[in-house]
Chains A and B, each alone.
Chain A
């Protein structure tokens, strides 16, 4: 299902959790089956408003992620449409077997919402970073893995998830981002969005990284390089046509606020390695990260316009001299 949506007004930066909370309340107003399940995360999930409006439909199991996800599966069995919302690091790591067996393998109507995803917790360190989630969840059959890039896309992904009968994982960022500002947008699960055309190489990004990819493409344009920017909001199932189109430019850069081992870059490489091998440069995090603020981590590990442009130049060199 796709929904026409007016283009957003590009004004300031937004915490995508606001879009999540507002959208969930709207959805819950329209569909009495919708419930929220949390692990003492009402505040960090911005669900105070939901709790006030729908107190009986807010299930707080306390600090118990395994039970939180399993309770979601049980609520779905009982006819509810549960949105299980918790910090992405604990939701996906602590409850991974529940996500695998109770949700994905059982193929039930549970929506998993990983809040404050990526390195949003900055200095709190690798225990609180959720950068392995894409690697863990991408192989799970039946589970759609969505990484929206801005408030509009976050809201649209949630609306799609609410209407889809099946398991979904959605990453919600707390890092302030602008609206992407693409005119006439439509959200379609499994379909990539070309944010900027170009045929010298393609930059495939998801989530917060899409904004940086656009800025990188602007730098490259000043050097006479036309970089296509693709917003791959659905990391699984991957849009194979978009990846093959990217491969046809002869060079790809992937960018993600995630561990590069098993994330979006790996997903792209799985496709191109089999169908059309091209040079790929992967921008993301290499593993457990040192202490630093979100901004410092992004800068240090190349998640910046210049970092991505540098990776693009490397990819172009490899394209020219394989």
Chain B
């Protein structure tokens, strides 16, 4: 597939559509994780519109760029991104969480094209992405592997095993994006089990680190879309985000981790997301 010359207008449009559609899914199912959906949606819109080289008609293409949604609970973000990219029809989203729906509360690659690995338990995406990047390294293949983790998720030790391995092997084709909204399910990350200084941690593990505004499409596109070039280390992009971004009463609120809207809140959100 070819990427658009100026993807920014389409990224903006896509992100807005994803927020509205994801919130409707959560409202109708009365289930989901909308706070984390909204902190990640600008990152996913940027990746799927402007960065990833993939062909939705051939989701198993060995040469494809890979994306792994390690924070698998943010299905509102992932499922809308895949539908909009053309991996499956949009009306599949209507079945979200229904009995026997292909759209489970966490993604299943055996049901949904475009899903690389089944996530849900935290700390699984980066280690699997590391293995994909090693396959590419062995074959000297040019594809890239992107993985998005939450920030609280980095409390899982498996991430740091993989971070060591990726740094040790110089997996330059691997990009980790951290959705740094500073809130986990119950409280702030720093009061729960602090991550700062996160950039220094990754540098110490042998990574190249960039920090961006995770809702600034141009900055995300610049950082994520930059070719690997002469870089010899894996890339960690710490994306500063806002949980619940885009809806006034949801922003910065841990309660919206898996909070679901009532009718009034849904109407209010749709007015704000216009």
Contacts and interface: CB of A to CB of B under 8 A. Distances in A.
A79 B158 contact: no
Contacts of B119: 101
B139 interface: yes
A45 B71 CA distance: 34
A56 interface: yes
28 contacts: A35-B138, A61-B161, A61-B165, A62-B164, A64-B164, A66-B123, A66-B161, A67-B130, A67-B161, A67-B165, A70-B131, A70-B158, A71-B165, A73-B128, A73-B131, A74-B127, A74-B128, A74-B129, A78-B131, A78-B135, A78-B141, A97-B121, A101-B118, A101-B121, A101-B124, A102-B127, A102-B128, A106-B118
Interface residues of B, number: 33
Interface of A: 35, 56-57, 59, 61-62, 64, 66-67, 70-80, 82, 97-98, 101-102, 105-108
A57 B138 contact: yes
Interface of B: 62, 66, 108-110, 116-121, 123-124, 127-136, 138-139, 141, 157-158, 161-162, 164-165, 168
Contacts of A59: 134
Nearest 8 pairs between A and B by C-beta? A74-B131, A78-B135, A70-B127, A71-B131, A64-B161, A67-B161, A74-B132, A66-B158
A102 B118 contact: yes
A63 to B, nearest CB: 9
A77 B131 contact: yes
Contact of A77 (B110, B116, B138, B141): B116
Contacts of A74: 117, 127-135
Nearest to B145: A74
Given A66-B127, A107-B110, A77 B117 contact: yes
Contacts of A82: 131
Nearest to B133: A74
B131 A72 contact: yes
Given A77-B117, A101-B120, 5 more contacts: A75-B135, A77-B116, A77-B135, A78-B141, A79-B139
Contact of A56 (B116, B130, B138, B165): B138
Nearest to A84: B131
B123 to A, nearest CB: 8
A102 B136 contact: no
A70 B164 contact: no
Contacts of A72: 131
B99 to A, nearest CB: 19
B202 to A, nearest CB: 16
B117 A73 contact: yes
B192 to A, nearest CB: 21
B65 to A, nearest CB: 12
Given A67-B158, A73-B117, A101-B121, A79 B131 contact: no
A72 B162 CA distance: 12
Contacts of B135: 74-75, 77-80
Contacts of B117: 73-74, 77, 102, 106, 108
Contacts of A35: 138
Contacts of A106: 109-110, 117-118
Contacts of B118: 101-102, 105-106
A318 B39 CA distance: 65
A98 B129 CA distance: 13
Contacts of A61: 161, 165
A76 B141 CA distance: 15
Residue from A78, A80, A82, A106 with most neighbouring chain B CB atoms (10 Å): A78
A70 B128 contact: yes
A290 B128 CA distance: 38
Nearest to A59: B134
B62 A71 contact: no
A101 B128 CA distance: 11
Nearest to A72: B131
